[in-house]
Structure 1
Amino acid sequence: MSNWNDVAYKVEFNLEIINELLTDRLPSSSQVLDFGCGYGRITNQLHGLGFKNITGVDSSLEMINRGTNEFPYLELNHVMGTPLPFPDESFDAVISCAVFTCIRDQKIRANVVSELLRILKPNGVIYLAEFCADESVLFTSGVGVPMWHGTQADIKSIVSEFKIEKSLVINNQTMTGHNSKACHVVARK
């Protein structure tokens, strides 16, 4: 089995956030954390939307190295696990794109959400964009990385401690070209 360091220069992620779900809720001056930023693709998308106070963090050093080369103007940081190196209530928003897809263990997911709650300001926004399926499934991706595709209800349950404002499912191919679905959930603390 591979890990993200092994495939950092081979993968091209394709799940994107829906711009309006953020721009309608956040001023561009917001402090935004791209949690599990990989090589910074979503961090760069946020930058292009006019957000300037963006911090990206990822547990894969090779992904961060790739992102630093591709997007030298972004703040991308290698951070291993939790707790995150930020004070309580540091961010107006946390974006997590295809991160929980990579966290197969429910206890670890719960610990991560608890940490995201800690660093999010009151009334802060959390945006999850995750691959999903009609039934929850554990599998190994085409690049050899262990994955989980939950149902829309599974994805919403990740942020059950938040007030959900929007949840929708759209068709989206996986990074290996398989037809799939993606669940987008926006919630507030």
Structure 2
Amino acid sequence: MNEPGGQAAYWNGPGATKTFTHPVHHSWLAGVDQDARILDYGCGYGRVTAELQDRGFSRVSGVDPSPRLVERGRSARPDLSLEVLPAPPALPHASASVDVVLLFAVLTCVPDDAAQRALVAELVRVLAPGGLLYVSDLLLQDDERNRDRYTAHAHRFGTPYGVFTTDDGAVCRHHDIAGLRTLLAGLDPVAERRIDVLTMNGHRTQGVQLLTRKP
């Protein structure tokens, strides 16, 4: 998933080769019907899309702004429904037409506050009443390496604390948990859990997963 108007070159270049690792906590989806309409937003090469389909969900689809990532996913799994999203965050879906949206390691790739709010608003639009939004993302880290790069990026570009540039050129963001909860404040909280996860560049990092429901 790239920031709207932003990092297309990265996600069609180095980013298209990455391995994504955020785990699906399947017990959170235990009550979801097998024929529920599920959207994997920022699906990349379809890792989560494939995992859900392989567990019996019959109406799973993925969208991503990167043609290279979508092509990679289609080549590996031609049976998946993966589509390129031409103008994120806008979706071609009708309002209230989706039962579950998964947003895995996407907000980290959308560093701007306004762009994050626009993305969440679009996902809420397509969710049916009672639908679930399942977010998995990365928290602020307290080690010296990360503190230094947060501070350097904020001083140089005036970005929120937690935004940084990776060694291979992606602009990413780690989040304060209170900020994530505020971003999702229009939804009812269902569950929250902390995770330990490898980033796309192989660093062990603390993350969080939040399950919310549209009223």
Q: TM-score range by the shorter chain?
A: over 0.9
> Which of these residues, 112, 117, 120, is aligned with residue 110 of structure 1?
117
CA distance, structure 1, for counterparts of residue 45 and residue 174 of structure 2 = 21
Q: Which amino acid aligns with 2:194?
A: V
CA distance, structure 1, for counterparts of residue 179 and residue 31 of structure 2 = 24
Please report how far the alpha carbon of residue 9 of structure 1 lies from its aligned counterpart in structure 2 after TM superposition: 4.2
Please report how far the alpha carbon of residue 30 of structure 1 lies from its aligned counterpart in structure 2 after TM superposition: 0.5
In structure 1, list runs of 5 or more residues that go unmatched: none
1:106-185 mapped onto 2 (5 Å cutoff): 106-134=113-141, 137-185=162-210
Larger Rg: 2
CA distance, structure 2, for counterparts of residue 107 and residue 9 of structure 1 = 25
Deviations 1:139-158 (A, max 9, x none): 12244211001022222222
Give the total of aligned pairs.
188
Q: Which amino acid aligns with 2:31?
A: R
Partner of 1:60: 66
Matched, 1:28 2:53: no
CA distance, structure 2, for counterparts of residue 70 and residue 154 of structure 1 = 36
> Which of these residues, 19, 22, 31, is aligned with residue 15 of structure 1?
22
Partner of 1:51: 57
Please report how far the alpha carbon of residue 179 of structure 1 lies from its aligned counterpart in structure 2 after TM superposition: 1.8
Secondary structure (helix, strand or coil) at the match of 1:83 reads coil
Matched, 1:88 2:88: no
CA distance, structure 2, for counterparts of residue 28 and residue 55 of structure 1 = 13
Secondary structure (helix, strand or coil) at the match of 2:138 reads strand
Deviations 1:110-148 (A, max 9, x none): 111111111000000000011112575111224421100
Q: Which amino acid aligns with 1:44?
A: A
CA distance, structure 2, for counterparts of residue 91 and residue 101 of structure 1 = 23
> Which of these residues, 48, 57, 72, is aligned with residue 42 of structure 1?
48
Structure with the largest fraction of helix: 2
Q: Answer whether contact 2:141 2:205 (CA < 8 A) is retained.
A: no
Q: Answer whether contact 1:134 1:151 (CA < 8 A) is retained.
A: no
CA distance, structure 1, for counterparts of residue 130 and residue 179 of structure 2 = 23
CA distance, structure 1, for counterparts of residue 37 and residue 99 of structure 2 = 5
Deviations 1:66-112 (A, max 9, x none): 11101110000001213210111110000010001100001011111
Normalised TM-score (structure 2): 0.83
Matched, 1:99 2:106: yes
Partner of 1:74: 80
Q: Which amino acid aligns with 1:163?
A: D
Identical-pair percentage: 29
Root-mean-square deviation (CA), in Å? 1.6
Secondary structure (helix, strand or coil) at the match of 2:34 reads coil
CA distance, structure 2, for counterparts of residue 131 and residue 82 of structure 1 = 20
